Chains A and B, each alone.
Chain A
């Protein structure tokens, strides 16, 4: 009698496949956006491992569980109070207006894998708040994650499991996990279909991923109809419908087998239309891939192409005439893939000069259009003259990388 119904707020989700999204992030935080998203994923996974629930991250504006970092009075009857005091809250499934809303105090010093004195462990608080989102009330048990007081870090997010009381309480609402059922990770999409394998899952050591909403881009390529954005050691992938496969970037070297893990960044990537090989350029070297495995004998020097030893800024390849254009500073080269040599007269002064800030970061050719990327902006170029069309530049983050709402830092800030 003591425990029956006591831990439950009385209502539960009727659906079992629940979407989630981090809608806003703290303005000034030790933790990067990608770390916050990863910790959210693992905090939800704690609950999905004990129940038949699955959680998947969505990029649109609406999600069943929406996470926000807010300050002071944010008009929900539970104002925050700066550092300390109230650190977070979440609304029960029965709340008609606010079910699934999870609020963290943006003024807390949110930490991960830090000693207790250094701040408030985001993972510990997130597991607690998602317990509320799923219908659990506070628990008097000192061992329960649903105890209302913050008790410090609970351990490694990849290893953490619910205590028996918490497991019993959540299973009273949703039942037990189905034997043999597989937890749906947020990097996976049931509908995803592609010629290439899924990006790798999150590394164990939670590196600071580049933020797709505030990063410049090193290289962009269209490969087998999908668009790849490269930044540092990572890439984002857009499917044929131009939807991100995952909001989290994947490690390039783990996906493109044979690309060195020590490679800091790539300068240019393109698919060669003569044989559909994929070429990566980084500094003085280039690699040729068949699908996602490197061909024997690579890397080789970019001077093979007649390019300068220092490498290139960008490249794109035209499917129509099977020519590839390389860009470096104010110069451009035209390489004839069919015969394997540079056009006579290369290099020439690029048509981009004077129209766009140079050097460009990346170039991309679609079936009938060319794009140039610089900083956090891009331009659509007229196909033959390479002059920018009207209405550009536009935001890379907003138009390509599924960043909605306010982009942080603001576009006027330095890249």
Chain B
């Protein structure tokens, strides 16, 4: 189910947006720009949940309108920080 598929050209902007704001991890350098549909759908849901629009998992009009809205450049989902236990072990 995690089979990588090429991202259609007309959706690459949304994928880049989801990646930029922390909803989607950066593309695997081995597979280039490929993302799994599940990962993209999950990222869209995450974005919709954060923005407070219906969680459809697809880039519907409400979602696209938000993507086009001017905004702050910082990610909404911050990278996870290493926990203290890991640091101590190192």
Chain A interface residues (CB < 8 Å from chain B): 9-10, 78, 80, 84-90, 108, 120, 125, 128-129, 132, 137-138, 140, 142, 148-150
Q: Which of A9, A120, A129 contacts B70 (CB 8 A)?
A: A120
Residue B21, interface by CB 8 Å:
yes
Given contacts A138-B76, A149-B69, 11 further A-B contacts (CB under 8 A): A85-B71, A86-B70, A86-B73, A87-B72, A87-B73, A128-B72, A138-B74, A148-B71, A148-B72, A148-B76, A150-B71
Q: Could you jot down 8 A-B contacts, CB within 8 Å?
A: A10-B81, A86-B70, A87-B71, A132-B74, A138-B76, A148-B21, A148-B72, A148-B76
Q: Which residue of B51, B73, B74, B81 contacts A149 across the interface (Cβ within 8 Å)?
A: B51
Q: Decide if A78 touches B78 in the complex (CB within 8 Å).
A: no
Q: How far is the CA of A138 from the CA of B74 in the complex (A)?
A: 8
> What CA separation (Å) do A10 and B73 show in the bound complex?
19
B72 touches A138 (CB 8 A): yes
Q: Do the beta carbons of B50 and A140 come within 8 Å of each other?
A: yes
Interface contact B73-A78, CB-CB below 8 Å: yes
Closest to A6 in B: B78
How far apart sit A108 and B73, CA to CA, in the bound complex (Å)? 14
Tell yes or no: B66 within 8 A of A by CB: yes
Chain A-chain B contacts (Cβ-Cβ < 8 Å), number: 55
Most-contacted residue by chain A among B50, B52, B72 (CB, 10 A): B72
Contact of A89 with B74 at beta-carbon distance under 8 Å, contacts A140-B49, A140-B51 already known: yes
Which chain B residues border A129 with CB–CB below 8 Å? 72
Q: Which residue of A lies closest to B81 (CB)?
A: A10
Shortest beta-carbon contacts, A-B, top 10: A89-B73, A86-B73, A150-B70, A78-B73, A140-B50, A138-B76, A149-B69, A149-B71, A148-B71, A148-B72
Query: Which among B49, B69, B72 is the interface contact of A89 at CB below 8 angstroms?
Result: B72
Query: Is the beta-carbon distance between B69 and A137 smaller than 8 angstroms?
Result: no
B residues with CB within 8 A of A: 21, 49-52, 66, 69-76, 78, 81
Chain B residues positioned under 8 Å from A138 (CB to CB)? 50, 72, 74-76
- Closest approach, in angstroms, between the C-beta of B70 and any C-beta of chain A? 4
Asked whether, in the complex, the Cβ of B52 is within 8 Å of the Cβ of A84, the reply is no
Chain A residues whose CB sits within 8 angstroms of the CB of B49 once the complex forms: 140
> B70, A148: Cβ atoms under 8 Å?
no
CB distance from B83 to the nearest CB of A (A): 12
Report the bound CA distance from A87 to B73 in whole Å.
7
* Minimum CB–CB distance for B24 against chain A, Å: 16
Query: B78 contacts which chain A residues (CB < 8 A)?
Result: 9, 137
A142 to B52, CA, bound (A): 8
Interchain nearest-CB distance for B78 vs A (Å) = 6
Report the separation of the CA atoms of residues A108 and B21 in the bound assembly, to the nearest whole angstrom.
20
Residue of A88, A132, A148 most packed against chain B (CB within 10 A): A148
B71 nearest CB across to chain A (Å): 5
Q: In the bound complex, do residue A149 and residue B52 qualify as a contact, i.e. CB atoms below 8 Å apart?
A: no
Complex CA distance for A149 and B71, rounded to whole angstroms: 4
A23 to B17, CA, bound (A): 30
Alpha-carbon separation in the docked complex, A150 to B49 (Å): 18
Bound CA span A87–B70, Å: 6
Contacts of A85 in B (CB 8 A): 70-71
CB atoms of A149 and B21 under 8 A apart? no
Is the beta-carbon distance between A88 and B81 smaller than 8 angstroms? Answer: no
> Bound state CA distance, A89 and B74, in angstroms?
6
Q: Collect the chain B residues with CB atoms within 8 Å of residue A140's CB.
A: 49-52
Contact A84 B70 (CB under 8 A): yes
Nearest CB on B from A227, distance (A): 42
User: Nearest-CB distance from A216 to chain B (Å)?
Assistant: 38
**What's the Cα separation between A90 and B72 when bound, in Å?**
9
Task: Report the separation of the CA atoms of residues A120 and B69 in the bound assembly, to the nearest whole angstrom.
Answer: 12
Cβ-closest chain A residue relative to B65: A149
B72 adjacent to A86 (CB under 8 Å)? yes
Q: Which residue of A lies closest to B68 (CB)?
A: A84
- On whether the beta carbons of A88 and B69 are closer than 8 Å, the reply is no
Query: Taking the nearest CB of chain A, how far is it from the CB of B13, in angstroms?
Result: 11
In the complex, what distance in Å separates the CA atom of A149 from the CA atom of B70? 6
* Inter-subunit contact A90/B70 (CB<8 Å): no
Chain A residues with CB under 8 A of B70:
84-87, 108, 120, 149-150
CB distance from A296 to the nearest CB of B (A): 58
Residues of B close to A125: CB separation below 8 A: 72
What residues on A are CB-neighbors of B75 within 8 Å? Answer: 138
